[in-house]
Amino acid sequence: MKVVGISDLGLHRKKNEDSYLINQNLGLFVICDGMGGHRGGDIASQLAINTIDTLSREERFTDAQTLLYEAIQKANEIIWQQGHANPEWEGMGTTVTAALLENEKLRVANVGDSSLHIIRNKSLRKITKDHTLAEQMVKEGLLRFEEIRSSSYNHILTRALGVDEDVQIDIFEEQLESGDYILICSDGLSDMLDENEILDVFMEAATTGDQLDVIARTLLRQALAKGGYDNVTILIIQC
């Protein structure tokens, strides 16, 4: 397994509210994107990362799904409590997308719109579902799928850690194959580049033999060239 992580302020933000975790020994990889425009977004994302990191080291968990679920629930509880205890952090929240690799099994948990993709056999498949108002409107027939990226509702979260005392978490399980790439990113990347543009970078790397750090830097450079309106965080794992 090879892995690389990169995070950038972007071109318009005053601070980086993204946080990420790489625990290669455990096979745990997490991105949290603090809610832009809310006080304490950077605090919320770092609280989530610290909580997940701490709980993942406990030996009481018997399976990956339970670990992810309980760690994210605990992170939600802590952020919610801190937001109510500290007026300067009131309303803070964060997305979370966490992946746990165990042998050839991939377990994924997500809340919000940080996303996880698998690149395999010259194709890219998005595993997670974005919890945004735009996605909800598509389900309700109020918006066409192809309008999501350009819709202002695409930036309104319907779920995030710390907003409510309880949070609903999506859990996914995938079987991995040798040579698979796993891309986890904040919306600072996925809002700037569509899936075909992201796939093109991986396909070019397969042709030239570029390493993961080159792929990550290329994705970041292209996101910045298209505006870099948000913080950009990228994790790439090669199985």
Question: How does pLDDT run across 2-51, given as a tens digit for each residue?
Answer: 999 999 999 999 899 999 999 999 999 999 999 965 679 999 999 999 99
State the Cα torsion 155-161-166-170 to the nearest 10°. Answer: 70
Q: Of the CATH numbers 3.60.40.10, 3.40.50.150, 3.30.465.10, 3.40.50.2020, which one belongs to the domain with range 2-238?
A: 3.60.40.10
- Which contiguous run of DSSP H or E holds residue 78? helix 64-85
The distance from CA 80 to its chain's CA centroid, rounded to whole angstroms, is: 20
Angle at 48 between CA 46 and CA 50, to 5 degrees: 70
Say yes or no to pLDDT of 91 above 90: no
* pLDDT confidence bin for 65, thresholds 50/70/90: confident
The residues, any chain, with a CB within 8 Å of residue 108's CB and separated by 6 or more, are 68, 97, 98, 99, 100, 116, 127, 128, 171, 172, 173, 174
- Neighbouring C-beta atoms of residue 25, cutoff 10 Å: 6
pLDDT digits (tens, 9 = 90+) for 136-163: 998 888 888 888 888 888 889 999 999 9
**H-helix or E-strand spanning residue 237:** strand 232-238
Any idea what DSSP says for residue 208?
Answer: H
